[in-house]
Structure 1
Amino acid sequence: MHRPVVGIIGNRGLVNNRYPVHEGGQMNSCAVSHVAGCIPLLIPADPDYVTVEELMQVCDGFLLTGGRPNVHPSEYGEPETDKHGTFDRARDAITLPLVRACVETGQPFMGICRGFQEVNVAMGGSLHPEIRELPGRMNHRMPPEGTLEQAFALRHTVTLTPGGTFATLFGTAEVMTNTLHGQGIKQPGPRIVVEGTAPDGTPEAIRVADAPGFTLSVQWHPEWNAEADPVSRPLFRAFGAAVQDWALTRRS
């Protein structure tokens, strides 16, 4: 049986600060291939090269990855400030309509970090530019120094809605996660259901209400150690199963 294809949304980058590339973390490809059981296909997220319609034909599901550039605040009706950081307007132009199209058709996607934020914005929500500056909030950003193991270490709990989709998937109402983000959900979109929060109240796990397909998205980075981590593994396996079901249905 042919493995289904998961389009991994890539980011813009520079090799040696001069050569422009589209790039994606190897751990994303590893999680998609080894845990979800799908073929990872890196997508250049730029409407100059691809369209949403083409991507939905080529791919069976999508992984909306993390990335340094943030969703431009004009996408949720707010002015740009220095706190919003850098942007990737080409990625915005692909991912936001892609999320909305997948929600309507039932094509599976999973959002991670920036991808989690993209899902909220695509569904009409907004973002805080720097959540660590909010009263009572912790610093969720990646530690500035140390090894990858230290950067992706488990740092806080996420409390899940009892009986909700995530709690049922993980078999528990509380999980431990890493945290490597600066922005976070300010106002959830009208159809966004928050099913997981950090101890400081920051939304960490969401889904789209009444969507016909897989829409689970998380603020943390489950691609790290996905084969062994007891939270990451069931999440990617469930995503892979949803992609497999979609692929079988569309080819039947």
Structure 2
Amino acid sequence: MSRPVIGIIGNSHLINDTYPVQASGDMNMEALRTVCDAVPIIIPADTAMIDAADVLTLCDGIVLPGGRPNVHPEEYGEDETEAHGTFDRNRDRLVLPLIRACVEAGLPVLGICRGFQEMNVAFGGTLHPEIRDLPGRDNHRMPPDGSLEDKFAIRHIVTLTEDGVFHRIMGSQTILTNSLHGQGIKTAGARVIVEGHAPDGTPEAIHIADAPGFALGVQWHPEFQAGLDPVSRPLFAAFGEAAGAWAQGRRMPARKVG
């Protein structure tokens, strides 16, 4: 049986601050290769090069990875401020309609960090520009110093909804995750079901209600050492199973996984 093809949405990057490229982290590709047993490909985040119909034709699943730029607040009806950080309008234009198209078609989607936030905005949700500025909230940003292991180290617990999609996938209601984000969900979109929260109440895990296929997002970064981590591995395994099912012409709703 051929391996499923999973597209990773690229991030705009400048090599030596000069040469523009579309890039993806090795961690994402390694997680898809080793845990999902899939072929990873980079999807350019630019509608001048590709559109949603192209992606649905090419791919058996889509990963919406993290990225330095944030979703532009115009996409959820708010004004741009300095706190919103930098943006990638080309990625906004491709990904937000792509998410809705994938969910409607049943093509498996996994959102990570920015991708988690994109899934929320795609269905009408809003975002806080900076979680750490909110009363009673913790600083969820990546530690500024240290090794890669330090930056992706476990930071807090996430409590999952009993008997929800994530609880069934993880086999536990309480999991441990890293934390490398500044923004987060303010209001959940119309079909966005929040199934996991950090101790300070920050939403950490979502699924899209009534999606005919796998449509899950997490605020943390499960791609780090995905083959070894007891939380990351079952998440990517479930995603890979759904992508494999799509490749074979089937549909596998996430709520039935595990």
Fold agreement, TM-score > 0.5: yes
Match of 1:65 in 2: 65
Residue-by-residue CA offset, 1:98-141 (whole Å, 9 max, x unaligned): 10001111110100000000000001100000010000000000
Match of 1:4 in 2: 4
Shift of 1:19: 1.2
Shift of 1:216: 1.1
Cα root mean square deviation, aligned: 0.7
Note if 1:134 corresponds to 2:158: no
- 1: distance between equivalents of 2:103 and 2:7? 16
Match of 1:189 in 2: 189
Give SS of 1:241's match.
Answer: helix
In the TM superposition, structure 1's runs of 4+ consecutive aligned residues that sit over 2 Å from their partners are none
Residue-by-residue CA offset, 1:174-229 (whole Å, 9 max, x unaligned): 00000000000000001100000000000000000011000111000000010000
Match of 2:102 in 1: 102
Shift of 1:80: 0.4
Match of 1:47 in 2: 47
Match of 2:247 in 1: 247
Give SS of 1:216's match.
Answer: strand
The aligned runs of 1:81-96 (5 Å cut-off) are 81-96=81-96
- 2: distance between equivalents of 1:213 and 1:188? 20
The aligned runs of 1:111-150 (5 Å cut-off) are 111-150=111-150
TM-score, normalized by length of structure 2?
A: 0.96
> How many pairs does the alignment contain?
250
Match of 2:201 in 1: 201
Shift of 1:161: 0.4
Match of 2:255 in 1: none
Give SS of 1:8's match.
Answer: strand
Which residues of structure 2 form unaligned runs of 5+? 251-258
Give SS of 1:185's match.
Answer: strand
Give SS of 2:154's match.
Answer: coil
Amino acid of the structure 1 residue aligned with 2:197: T
Amino acid of the structure 2 residue aligned with 1:78: E
TM-score, normalized by length of structure 1?
A: 0.98
- 2: distance between equivalents of 1:231 and 1:216? 14
Amino acid of the structure 2 residue aligned with 1:163: D
Which residues of structure 1 form unaligned runs of 5+? none
- 2: distance between equivalents of 1:90 and 1:17? 19
Residue-by-residue CA offset, 1:15-64 (whole Å, 9 max, x unaligned): 11111111010000000110011100011110011111011101111000
- 2: distance between equivalents of 1:55 and 1:102? 9
Give SS of 2:249's match.
Answer: helix
Match of 1:230 in 2: 230
Match of 1:80 in 2: 80
Residue-by-residue CA offset, 1:213-250 (whole Å, 9 max, x unaligned): 00111000000010000000000000000001011017
- 2: distance between equivalents of 1:51 and 1:188? 26
- 1: distance between equivalents of 2:121 and 2:207? 13
Give SS of 2:215's match.
Answer: coil
Match of 1:158 in 2: 158
- 1: distance between equivalents of 2:22 and 2:51? 16
% identity of equivalent residues: 62
Residue-by-residue CA offset, 1:124-183 (whole Å, 9 max, x unaligned): 100000010000000000011100000000000000001111011111100000000000
Give SS of 2:243's match.
Answer: helix
- 1: distance between equivalents of 2:225 and 2:140? 19
